[in-house]
Amino acid sequence: MIEGVKHIVAVASGKGGVGKSTVTVNLALAMAAEGYRVGLLDADIYGPSQAQMLGVGEGVRPQSAGENRFKPLEAHGIQAMSMAFLVDIREPMVWRGPMVAGAFQQMLTQTVWDDLDYLFIDMPPGTGDIQLTLAQKVPVDGAVIVTTPQDIALLDARKGIEMFRKVNVPVLGVVENMSLHICSNCGHSEPIFGEGGGERIAQEYETRVLGRLPLTLSIREQVDSGRPTVVAEPEGEVTATFRDMARQVGEQVRGQGAEGPEISFSE
């Protein structure tokens, strides 16, 4: 188990470009808004985006916490760690797989998380080194799969689900992103990337659709400016969807631990 962390939730997708990082940061912030202590680990070594999404300035570095250990940065009330806090993000990471897996493992084990209820891990796309390292080294409570309703994205989402099944990580559900576009001029709605894909995949793998998110300009603009939707519009409809997803994730994770007796020590 990672010290200082009660539950770990991986957010993954089979392919890039489906809005996984946007979903992860908003889901983490929604969980914090529900009253939990939350951390976010950006495991995308080649393309870390959480620093910008959380509004952490370029060049801000984590504080040392003893030998080879560092404190996570705080942003919008959550603890965060990312490769972007450790290197110059303008320089490409020209690394082979083992170096990437090693860097990920270091971030996992050398970050001094402070009493987290939930640690969300923003996974890189695909089913490679980092996914295997995570499955082998860390007891992950569950995975959330992000997809668009497009057939080609669903094909890759299936691989993501299969991968977690193979390594015995429960799939908590599917988030269908960019599911509907509503025209800001006339209000006409159109499923640009197709429809019903998340539902089909959820039925096929006996999991659930945690929620559907619209394809809107504001979601993208808000994360790009470092104030994700859950922070920028706490009373908005999209935030309500993220809060609902966070509650479902929490219920499922807590429900899994219900098989054996729980022992608590009161002070």
Residues forming the annotated binding site for ATP? 14-21
Handedness of CA 18, 21, 25, 31 (dihedral sign): positive
Determine the Cα–Cα distance for residues 68 and 137; give it in Å rounded to an integer: 19
- Only one residue has tokens 């897996």, namely 101
Binding site: residue ranges? 14-21
Locate all alpha helices (DSSP H) within 37-96, ordered by sequence: 50-53
Provide DSSP, 120-187.
Answer: EEEPPSSSSHHHHHHHHHS---EEEEEE-SSHHHHHHHHHHHHHHHHTT--EEEEEE-S--EE-TTT-
The kind and range of the H/E element at 7 are strand 5-12
